[in-house]
Amino acid sequence: MELTIRNLSKTYPNGVKALDDVSLDIPTGMYGLLGPNGAGKSTLMRTVATLQEADTGTATLDGINVLEQKDEVRRLLGYLPQEFGVYARISAQKMLDHLAVLKGITNKSNRKEAVEALLQRVNLWDHRKKAVSSYSGGMRQRFGIAQALLGDPQLIIVDEPTAGLDPGERNRFYNLLSEIGENVIVILSTHIVEDVKELCSKMAIIHEGQVHYEGQPSAAMSELNGKVWEKAITKAEIGDYENRFQIISSKLVAGKPIIHILNEENPGDGFVSSSPDLEDVFFSKIMA
């Protein structure tokens, strides 16, 4: 199973070009779609999920024309949007049963078996009689994954799934996504570098509607070996260093800025070599 996207473009009526000639090859497994807010990730995900039209380009899923054969795609699709609504007073079990009907699981015994199995899988069985609206952020996201898994989809899209989760909930969500991604295509759209680093064997970086990198996270980091340098400076010095060097990231450590710069060789001035991480890759690509 592979999702192939070629030359996809989308411009909104207000003139914003959300997608600009995007081409990607997305195989079975966890695939990270990394970019800042407003990069075009959600537009791409909604287009692949058959929720909006593209202006130009093509997308095929195992021979199915995604942009034209929408019903066929929806039978193979599980989708967890960034925000999803629920009925305020309905329990998780009843809500999932209702969604299963909408997904086409009409046989009552098959539906009951599927709902119970999914609630067990996402560790919500003990909370099945509670209203989803009363769930914590992590529990809601696990319910979101459960509904996305209805009907055994072959393509699962999750849009900013860990935003707002605490570290424990994020780890549980990571484990669940990793398990799911062993046999199907899972596209993880996020602006959180750590999510992609922890979960994905392949990724793309999108910025201003364009693909700035596609490949393995490890390969992207290897490309920067020997080119990333760091130094601790004072806050008052930041402007001066921005004028003299290409700063790709800056973080406060114990109240003091640590800057990373991109340079082919040692720039001197007290900089020391730093092992590149995916955050360095991300900023270097979107600043290029």
DSSP letter string over 32-81?
Answer: EEE--TTSSHHHHHHHHTTSS--SEEEEEETTEETTT-HHHHHHTEEEE-
pLDDT at 83 exceeding the cut of 80: no
Q: Comparing 78-87, 144-153, 226-235, 241-250, which segment has the lowest mean pLDDT?
A: 78-87
Cβ atoms of 199 and 32 closer than 8 Å = yes
- Return the pLDDT at 81: 82
Q: What superfamily would CATH give domain 2-216?
A: P-loop containing nucleotide triphosphate hydrolases (3.40.50.300)
Proportion of the chain above pLDDT 70, given as a percent: 98
Q: What is the pTM of this model?
A: 0.86
What average pLDDT does the structure give for the chain?
Answer: 90
pLDDT at 87 exceeding the cut of 90: no
**Domain positions in the chain:** 2-216, 222-287
- Return the pLDDT at 49: 93
Give tens-digit pLDDT for 43-61: 999 999 999 999 999 999 9
Give tens-digit pLDDT for 145-201: 899 999 889 999 998 887 777 888 788 878 888 888 888 999 998 888 888 888 898
